[in-house]
Structure 1
C-alpha cells in the first residue's frame, strides 16, 4: 500500500483523531490496537467516511513479539507518516508496580517508539520525505507522585524526538513531539484511574480533536515541540523555570489535594 500513515494505538483518543485527520487528507492508513472489535469498527467508519484504505493490525506493542509482528505486517507498505501514539498509564505508586507492568510500559513507550521510528525512517530517508510524530505528555515536564514511570518514559520520548529533529535537519523529513495535558479519552479508565473529566479550571480535560488540530497547526509552522493547551504550557513553564524545591512543594501539595478529593 502506498501513501500510508501508520498510527499506533488508534482505538480511541488521540490515535483515532490522528487517523481521521490523515484520512481527511487522503492518506491510506495502518492502525494498531489491542481491542479488535473497536479498532475494526474504527477502520470501517473511516473507510466509509473518507474513501481511503485502512489496514488494521491487532497487536500489543508492549513486548518484542508485538513489535516484530507489526514490522512484518508493514514491510511492503510505503509509509509517509508515522504517529507513535500507543501508551498506557499505571495507577500504583512505584513501589507497588508489578514487574510485568514496569517492563510493559518501558518497552511500549521507549523501545517500541525507537524501533518503529528507526525502521520506518530508513525508507523515508531513501525518498527524502516523511513525517514522524511522537506523542509525549506534559508529564515530560513535571513528574508527579504515583505517575513516575509514565512521566519518565514520556521525557525519553521528548528528548529522543528533539535529538532526531537535529539529526535530520538537512533532510526534508518533518519531526514533531506532542505534549498534551489531560485528554478526554478512555486512557484513565483503562489505567484504573478515578478522574473527574467535567471539572473546570486548571488541569481540565481537553477534547482529542482540539489537541490534534493545535498540534497539526504547530507541525505546519515547523514547531518541533507542540504543547497544546494553556494548562500544558503552564506545566512546561513550571517545570523549566521554578526552583526545584519550590517545584517539589507545589507538585506534592497538588497531588495530596487531588487524592483527598478523589477519596471523599
Structure 2
C-alpha cells in the first residue's frame, strides 16, 4: 500500500503544525509533493512555515489559525474538510499536564481531553467518508507510549492517548481492503516543546540524552509507516522498550513506579 499520489486539488492536513513533530510532518509531506493545510493556534509560526515550504518545494500552502480545543472553531474546520479532497490527515495536535488530578485546573484538563481525544475523533469523522468513497487516503494519529499503561500524576494525558492509540489501531483493521489506511504514531521521548507546554521543567533531565529521538526522525518514520500501510510506528529504542513494558508489566507494579517518577516531573 502507498500514499495517494499528490494532485493539484488534494491536500494533506497537519494539526499541531506550529512546532515539533507537526512541523516535521509538514516538511516531510511537502518534500513528497503534497500541498498542505496547516492547523495550529499560532498564526505567525504557521505563516512562516507555509511561506518557507511553499517557496522551497513549490507546493500550495493554506493555514488555519484556530484552537482545536474550541468546539465552535473545530466544527467550522471539520465542515470545510468534509467538502475538500483530503489525501492525508495527520491528527498530531495535543498537549500534556502533570500533577495530581484532584488539585489540577479543571478547565485545563477539559481542554486537554477536547484536543487530544474529541478533536482527533471529529477530524477523523470529517475526512473518512470521502476517503472511503474515493478508495484512497491515509490518516495518522499521534498517540503515545503513555497510552499503553496507567499514568498516575499524568492521568488525563495517559487516558487521552490510550483513546488515540486504540482508535488508530482499531481503524487500521476496520479499513482493510478499502484503500484507506490509518497508522498510529506512538512516540516516547521526542525533542519538542512538549515539556515547556506541560510545565514540566524536570522532564528533559529524567531521560538520558541518547534515548531521545528528534521530531524529524519521528515524522519521517511516521510518513514512511503510512506509505507502507503499517498499523503502528514506534520511533526509538526507548519507546519500543516502553511499549513492551506497558503491554506486559503487571499494572499493580507499573502504576506505583510511574507515580514515583511523575511526582518528580514538576
Question: Normalized against structure 1, the TM-score is what?
Answer: 0.91
Q: Which residue of 2 aligns with 1:97?
A: 104
Q: Which residue of 1 aligns with 2:67?
A: 60
Find out whether 1:185 has 2:192 as its counterpart.
yes
* 2:202 maps to which of 195, 198, 201: 195
Classify 1:98/1:194 alpha carbon distance in 2 versus 1 (closer, same or farther; 3 Å): same
Q: Which residue of 2 aligns with 1:162?
A: 169
Classify 1:71/1:219 alpha carbon distance in 2 versus 1 (closer, same or farther; 3 Å): closer
Q: Which residue of 2 aligns with 1:14?
A: 21
Do the aligned residues in 1 keep the contact of 2:137 with 2:180 (CA within 8 Å)? yes
Greater shift, 147-156 or 243-252, is seen at: 243-252
Q: Secondary structure in 1 aligned to 2:36?
A: strand
Q: Secondary structure in 2 aligned to 1:74?
A: helix
Classify 1:137/1:254 alpha carbon distance in 2 versus 1 (closer, same or farther; 3 Å): same
Unpaired stretches in structure 2, ≥5 consecutive residues: 1-7
- CA distance in structure 1 between the partners assigned to 2:206 and 2:165 by the alignment: 28
- CA distance in structure 2 between the partners assigned to 1:212 and 1:45 by the alignment: 18
- CA distance in structure 1 between the partners assigned to 2:163 and 2:203 by the alignment: 28
Map 1:44-59; keep pairs closer than 5 Å. Answer: 44-59=51-66
Map 1:1-264; keep pairs closer than 5 Å. Answer: 2-195=9-202, 197=204, 201=208, 204-256=211-263, 259=264
Q: State the shift of 1:248 in Å.
A: 2.6
Q: Secondary structure in 2 aligned to 1:68?
A: helix
Q: State the shift of 1:5 in Å.
A: 0.1
- CA distance in structure 2 between the partners assigned to 1:252 and 1:111 by the alignment: 26
Do the aligned residues in 2 keep the contact of 1:6 with 1:31 (CA within 8 Å)? yes
Q: Secondary structure in 2 aligned to 1:80?
A: strand
Greater shift, 64-73 or 42-51, is seen at: 64-73
Classify 1:2/1:165 alpha carbon distance in 2 versus 1 (closer, same or farther; 3 Å): same
Do the aligned residues in 2 keep the contact of 1:179 with 1:228 (CA within 8 Å)? yes
Do the aligned residues in 2 keep the contact of 1:141 with 1:155 (CA within 8 Å)? yes
Do the aligned residues in 2 keep the contact of 1:133 with 1:177 (CA within 8 Å)? yes
- CA distance in structure 2 between the partners assigned to 1:45 and 1:193 by the alignment: 31
Do the aligned residues in 1 keep the contact of 2:189 with 2:212 (CA within 8 Å)? yes
Tell me which stretches of 4 or more aligned residues in structure 1 moved more than 3 Å: 72-76, 195-204, 252-256
Unpaired stretches in structure 1, ≥5 consecutive residues: none
Q: State the shift of 1:73 in Å.
A: 4.1
Do the aligned residues in 2 keep the contact of 1:17 with 1:208 (CA within 8 Å)? yes
- CA distance in structure 1 between the partners assigned to 2:203 and 2:163 by the alignment: 28
Do the aligned residues in 2 keep the contact of 1:9 with 1:15 (CA within 8 Å)? yes
- CA distance in structure 2 between the partners assigned to 1:207 and 1:8 by the alignment: 18
Do the aligned residues in 2 keep the contact of 1:91 with 1:191 (CA within 8 Å)? yes
Q: State the shift of 1:148 in Å.
A: 0.9
Do the aligned residues in 1 keep the contact of 2:149 with 2:251 (CA within 8 Å)? no
Structure scoring higher RCO (CA < 8 A, sep ≥ 6) equals 2
